[in-house]
Structure 1
Amino acid sequence: MASLWLKLRAIPGWVWPLLFAVILILLPFIGAPYPMIRQVELTIMLALIVSGLNLSLGYAGELAMGQVAMYAAGAYAAGLVSKAGNTDLLFQLLVGAAAALVVGLISGIPGLRLGGWSLAMTSFFLILLVPDVLSLFKSETGGRNGLSGIRPATLFGEMIDSRTYYVIIIVVGILWFAAMRNMIVSRHGIALRVLKQSPVLASSMGISVFRTKLSAYAMGAIPAGLAGVLFANLDLFLSPEAFAFSFAMTVLAASIFGGSASVYGAIVGAFVLQFGMNQSTNFQEYGLIITGTFLLIGGVAFTGGISALARLLVRRADAAARAKTGYVEAPASEAIVERREGALLRTDNVSKAFGGNQALSDVSVEAKPGAVTAIIGPNGSGKTTLLNMISGFYRTDQGTITIDGQAVHGLSSFRVARSGVSRTFQTPNVPEKLTVLEAVEAGRYARDRSSILAAVLRLPSYWRVTRDDRIEAERALALVGLSEQRHAMADSLPLGNRRLLEVARSLVGSPKVLLLDEVASGLDEDEIEVLASLILRLRDSGMTVVLVEHNFRLVLRLADVIYVLAQGKVMAQGTPDEIENNPRVMEEYLGVTPEDEANQTGGHHE
């Protein structure tokens, strides 16, 4: 039984949805009744709309309910084009998608710029405005009376009959979900999942938070527009009531119940709602109550929706089957640290204040290629603040930060990352719902750029970048000793391994400057040895390494030069020997006075 399960799991994941779609296509040809055919058509349209919401909510982490307005834009655009005499369905699909995209951008740009709940409120009011907009252009749209006179659609000059139109609806759904699936499983989908959990982490990897969210929102407008075109040509009549607020709640309920962070969760949620509660004669009267109940059940009983529950069960079945068959993950080959190009990092008289607290004052640090530059100091001395300023998360109040002479202190964090600066965090920032391998691959997002279109169409550039991402991620995991855990879930790792995972993610993009923030904290002795050996190898390869660390003995072992911060100022700088023999550093940093040291020395001689 276990071996059979593993054989089934070896079948490509896209085969099962395609098989399901083929079964749906065959329904009218095997005598399925018209009411069932009608429900399938409406379900596919609902699934298209929900999939757009899943992109913005489930993957980008932005609650945007404007899909209904985009749905209306696509429908009315197709209806008006048809009334004007152009009944070609392919042309209408292009026009409908473009109209939805425009509406999405108009509502999305202001909301995303403001952040937080602004997009949700903007899209919410957009839905409420739909009837008023239709009434405003009553002569064109028919206002509250609806748009009639839509002509039957044609394809390549031929009239489309009802059976053919049903197949077209299914095919449009297949093509869209294939495109969405291709994008989600690519590096762009991984970037969205990283962004949803932590915009800070995403920025540190070179991901533009605004542009990535906007692209997800814009892409999510397209299926809503396509659904609108299909709906307009279904009954050849459009009523404003079809785009009411209650329908927006239905879309949201389908997304939550099916699973918002899932490609096929949109289909599951749409089928549940369309074939479930919409079959009830009482639904029209109690629609909002029933929808609210579905939202509550989906949010509480099925965290992540039905699709998340299904993924959990599949992972458990995988683990059980591998345990029974004695399956062992093949270890990755040993990685070699290749020659790397470091960069000269300088901070000159950098200062930063938060309110009345002067975090940094006239701090000047120089980190050279092929050297480990350590920054030490007591808690609150400004070490992490300095790293955040180098990374672009904080702006300098005064002073400059340069990399090979190029100023970066005015750049946003994602642009600093793209200039060759990579970092770890004091508290490991590990993405959820990604494997260890995927989490490391995400670190290459700013390298070897590949477009969303290339991912959707599986162009040669996509395969090249995907191959390189996998090779470099495997190599980075081998460097930190995590190769055997590459298919484990990243958020399941213990603290020490999470820190090593962060190091691997920071290395995979071949940065010029590597910022390590207390990376040895929480590691055991063996892990510290792996880390120390890696840092020395990176230094010898030519990389610029900046190490912020509390483990003083580790710092003395690894550093070529040490800067000591105290109360936001550079108290001392020098070689490890100079710092270790500096009485002021010993007293400020370690709490050891010259008298204590003398007593310890005297006691030793006795």
Structure 2
Amino acid sequence: MSLLALRNLTKTFGGLVAVNNVTFDVAEGSIVGLIGPNGAGKTTVFNLITGNYKPDSGDIFFDGRTIKGLPTHRIVQQGIARTFQTIRLFQNMSVIENVLAGCHCRMQSGMLSAMLRTPAQRAEEQRALLRATRELEFVGLADEHANLAKNLSYGNQRLLEIARALATDPRFIILDEPAGGMNDQETAALIYTIRAIRDRGITVLLIEHDMSLVMKVCEKLVVLEYGALLAEGVPAAIKDDPRVIEAYLGVDTDD
């Protein structure tokens, strides 16, 4: 069953067609990779799904209902979380505070109850702290909870973004180049983390240029080129597809 369905999605910026009539599905409980050369439109697709951009045409369905045109906070409330290609953390806040920021979308207490420190508000705050602590443990950053985000290594900042996204209690998580800046050991641990996210019942869609990671962790690949769908299928088939090889590596046209 498809949890996310893109139908004839198109987005232009002036004369540039960034996403051109793209249609694909992401099955619930799967790990799907969205790949393609630089400038293929991958991050634009992510921004359309998460409400950062509005499509010019086409539709986006999540769990059978359209989310086209919803503001970003409503899409998060629907159960879609994301990380970013460029790290977006609160650098001068602690690690645990960054993850607590992700919990905010599920909290019900208003300003008055927060000012009065009502029992219900304090209980909700404690639940959020417990959730944030668990997500830090999940990504292996429990010992860093009091550290400032800016003092983490680049790879650990990537993991902190994942923990914050998980704190929103998503059904679907979008990871934009999560292995960027990671060494081989950190990338190996990330593969385990992505699989563990799926094992929690969260569907995963990721952009990643590390093809070794993609081939190890993804069950399906969707390939874009110049904003259009080039190919989709299981990794083994995509790896040997001549169109994909040409898009990535080019072909020798000399006789």
What's the TM-score, normalizing by structure 2? 0.95
| Structure with larger Rg | 1
Query: Given the alignment, which residue of 22, 45, 50 partners 1:386?
Result: 45
In the TM superposition, residue 568 of structure 1 has moved relative to its aligned partner by: 0.2
Matched, 1:398 2:57: yes
Q: Hey, what's the Cα distance between the residues in 1 that align with 2:173 and 2:16? A: 28
Matched, 1:561 2:220: yes
Cα deviation code 1:220-263 (max 9, x no counterpart): xxxxxxxxxxxxxxxxxxxxxxxxxxxxxxxxxxxxxxxxxxxx
- Counterpart of 2:10, as a letter, is S
Matched, 1:523 2:193: no
User: Which position in structure 1 is the counterpart of 2:130?
Assistant: 471
- Counterpart of 2:112, as a letter, is L
Query: Given the alignment, which residue of 480, 483, 488 partners 2:147?
Result: 488
Aligned counterparts, 1:232-381, within 5 A: 344-381=3-40
Can you give the 5+ residue segments of structure 1 that lack an aligned partner in the other structure?
1-341, 596-606
Q: Hey, what's the Cα distance between the residues in 2 that align with 1:358 and 1:438? A: 39
Matched, 1:534 2:196: no
Q: Hey, what's the Cα distance between the residues in 2 that align with 1:584 and 1:391? A: 29
In the TM superposition, residue 541 of structure 1 has moved relative to its aligned partner by: 2.6
Count of aligned pairs between the two proteins: 253
In the TM superposition, residue 433 of structure 1 has moved relative to its aligned partner by: 2.5
- Counterpart of 1:576, as a letter, is P
User: Which position in structure 2 is the counterpart of 1:140?
Assistant: none
What's the TM-score, normalizing by structure 1? 0.41
- Counterpart of 1:365, as a letter, is F
Q: Hey, what's the Cα distance between the residues in 2 that align with 1:465 and 1:549? A: 36
User: Which position in structure 2 is the counterpart of 1:181?
Assistant: none
Contact kept? 1:373, 1:546, Cα under 8 Å: yes
In the TM superposition, residue 542 of structure 1 has moved relative to its aligned partner by: 2.0
Query: Given the alignment, which residue of 211, 214, 223 partners 1:552?
Result: 211
User: Which position in structure 1 is the counterpart of 2:234?
Assistant: 575
Q: Hey, what's the Cα distance between the residues in 2 that align with 1:474 and 1:593? A: 50
Cα deviation code 1:180-221 (max 9, x no counterpart): xxxxxxxxxxxxxxxxxxxxxxxxxxxxxxxxxxxxxxxxxx
SS at match of 1:445: helix
SS at match of 2:175: strand
Structure having the higher strand fraction is 2
**RMSD value, Cα:** 1.6
Contact kept? 2:55, 2:68, Cα under 8 Å: yes
User: Which position in structure 2 is the counterpart of 1:409?
Assistant: 68
The runs of at least 4 aligned residues of structure 1 exceeding 3 Å deviation read: 592-595
Contact kept? 2:6, 2:25, Cα under 8 Å: yes
Contact kept? 1:516, 1:546, Cα under 8 Å: yes
Contact kept? 1:480, 1:530, Cα under 8 Å: no
In the TM superposition, residue 492 of structure 1 has moved relative to its aligned partner by: 2.2
SS at match of 2:106: coil
- Counterpart of 2:121, as a letter, is Y
In the TM superposition, residue 593 of structure 1 has moved relative to its aligned partner by: 4.8
In the TM superposition, residue 494 of structure 1 has moved relative to its aligned partner by: 2.3
Q: Hey, what's the Cα distance between the residues in 2 that align with 1:528 and 1:506? A: 19
Cα deviation code 1:485-542 (max 9, x no counterpart): 1100112222111111101101112201100000101011221122110111222232
Contact kept? 2:95, 2:146, Cα under 8 Å: yes
User: Which position in structure 2 is the counterpart of 1:177?
Assistant: none
Q: Which moved more, 1:559-568 or 1:441-450?
A: 441-450
Contact kept? 1:350, 1:361, Cα under 8 Å: yes
Contact kept? 2:158, 2:178, Cα under 8 Å: yes
Contact kept? 2:36, 2:225, Cα under 8 Å: yes
In the TM superposition, residue 357 of structure 1 has moved relative to its aligned partner by: 0.4
Structure having the higher helix fraction is 1
In the TM superposition, residue 549 of structure 1 has moved relative to its aligned partner by: 0.6
- Counterpart of 1:567, as a letter, is Y
Can you give the 5+ residue segments of structure 2 that lack an aligned partner in the other structure?
none
Q: Hey, what's the Cα distance between the residues in 2 that align with 1:343 and 1:505? A: 25
Q: Hey, what's the Cα distance between the residues in 1 that align with 2:125 and 2:245? A: 50
Aligned counterparts, 1:77-226, within 5 A: none
- Counterpart of 2:212, as a letter, is R
Contact kept? 1:583, 1:594, Cα under 8 Å: no
Query: Given the alignment, which residue of 71, 87, 91 partners 1:428?
Result: 87
Q: Hey, what's the Cα distance between the residues in 1 that align with 2:174 and 2:213? A: 16
Q: Hey, what's the Cα distance between the residues in 2 that align with 1:572 and 1:579? A: 7
SS at match of 1:510: coil
Cα deviation code 1:400-426 (max 9, x no counterpart): 001011111111111111111100000
Contact kept? 1:441, 1:508, Cα under 8 Å: yes
SS at match of 1:396: coil
Percent identity over the alignment is 38
SS at match of 1:344: strand
Q: Hey, what's the Cα distance between the residues in 1 that align with 2:187 and 2:174? A: 17
Q: Hey, what's the Cα distance between the residues in 2 that align with 1:555 and 1:396? A: 27
Matched, 1:444 2:111: no
